[in-house]
Amino acid sequence: MTITQPDLSIFQTLESEVRSYCRGWPTVFDRAQGSRMYDEDGHTYLDFFAGAGSLNYGHNNPILKRALIDYLERDGVTHGLDMSTTAKRAFLETFQETVLRPRELDHKVMFPGPTGTNAVEAALKLARKVKGRESIVSFTNAFHGMSLGALAVTGNAFKRAGAGIPLVHGTPMPFDNYLDGQVEDFLWFERLLQDSGSGLNRPAAVIVETVQGEGGINVARPEWLRALAELCKRQDMLLIVDDIQMGCGRTGAFFSFEEAGITPDIITVSKSISGYGLPMALTLFRPELDVWEPGEHNGTFRGNNPAFVTAAAALNAYWTDGQTEKQTLARGEQVEAALRAIAAEHPTEVADVRGRGLVWGVELNDHTRASAIASRAFELGLLIETSGPESEVVKLLPALTVSPEELDEGLSILARAVRETA
């Protein structure tokens, strides 16, 4: 694909240096539909990024778009703070009927603000309020957001350094297989909890991702997650599952922890809960944890009613039966087979292939290769990102609605990019 030099001058001169994704994809996008994006010069890109997981149902999904347009054309409320609206009622009723009740979850629903980091901050604040303790345990290579509380339980040194102040009241523990299986699961963690001389303040909660997306597509085993849940019960700690990127069907089931058979005390959800890329986040928690005073945690944009509309439409369209989960798992098998073929073709270069559902990563032995592969893939018309502490993992995050043919096309481009950057 021949790419003409786009006019990026306004972005380069006026926009902050903090911009990042646009540096890897130096073009100006204009339209998007389904799994494809189009730049202003008419070039087409197959999107295996999906808005960092906020577009699980693809760009401008026609079902969700129709619901949104109809709502706006009748002058439905757009900004409602935490006022009761018909759009919020419809979402809550749909969420209860299609997500909570079928999974026997009685969790309360909190709208903490429009982003994932808002949901995490609310979860941490609530856990500390309930337990009367400050400390939170997180895990190596975790990522939970960019605000100060969320950064305190994030592992990445580069992101943590951006805080500019000490990040306190968070303690990291080894994630599953961090010690290559040489140490019994949670041996160190439980020993510290039991030893009054360890220096570990008793935590209010533990926060965990079942699959660490930004951390490098590190997949926790179901048995590890079950052991963690049991440890939290034994030691009177709340279990928070951060399902911001891996929820809403990304790993197959609606919640990524379902496979492990655990019930978290608190769950954070964002990204694809609106279904359309509209900002929206939820913090879910067991009813007995609902100790908030009215207005004790709020935010101006927690009442994004257009997001409620598209969220309800997405749940009705994709989660009233088990077809989305089955399709995602089938597409995931297709991705895994192709990635393992790439690994077999490059046995000395590919360190590992790992993932679940439709989130997959290819770890490279040469940590500079992943960025080179992503760059070449862009030139060939495929949008993929990297992850991991050294950006050593090529990360695939296609829409759940991607077709088998689109997957084959994108995976073929990826295989070519790997070959051509060897």
288-347, pLDDT tens digit by residue? 999 999 999 999 999 999 999 999 999 999 999 999 999 999 999 999 999 999 999 999
For position 2, what pLDDT does the model report? 57
User: Which residue from 74, 54, 56 is spatially nearest to 66, judged by alpha carbons?
Assistant: 74
Long-range contacts, stretch 81-89, CB < 8 angstroms, 24+ apart: 81/298, 81/300, 81/302, 81/303, 82/111, 82/298, 82/302, 82/303, 83/303, 85/303, 85/305, 85/308, 87/305, 87/306, 87/308, 87/309, 87/312, 88/303, 88/305, 88/308
Q: What is the model's pLDDT at position 3?
A: 56
Tokens found for residue 83: 């006022």
62-73 and 305-318 helices cross at what angle (nearest 10)?
Answer: 140
Cα-flanking dihedrals φ and ψ of residue 99, to 5°? -115, -55
**CA dist., res. 250 & res. 402, Å (int):** 12
105, containing H or E segment: none
Q: What is the mean pLDDT of residues 96-119?
A: 98
Q: Is the pTM of this model over 0.85?
A: yes
**If you write DSSP's letter for every residue of 379-391 in order, what string do you get?**
HTTEE-EEESTTS
Indicate the pLDDT class of residue 257, thresholds 50, 70 and 90.
very high
277-286, pLDDT tens digit by residue?
999 999 999 9
Tell me what the mean pLDDT of segment 106-120 comes to: 97
Confidence of residue 126 (pLDDT cuts 50, 70, 90): very high
- pLDDT, mean of residues 383-394: 97
CA atoms of 143 and 207, how far apart (whole Å): 10
The mean pLDDT value for 371-399 works out to: 98
**DSSP H or E stretch at residue 246:** none
Per-residue pLDDT, averaged over 348-366, amounts to: 98
Q: Residue 1: its pLDDT value, please?
A: 55
**pLDDT number for residue 256:** 98
Rg over CA atoms, the chain? 21
DSSP 124: H
Share of the chain above pLDDT 90, in %: 98
Mean per-residue pLDDT for 217-242?
A: 98
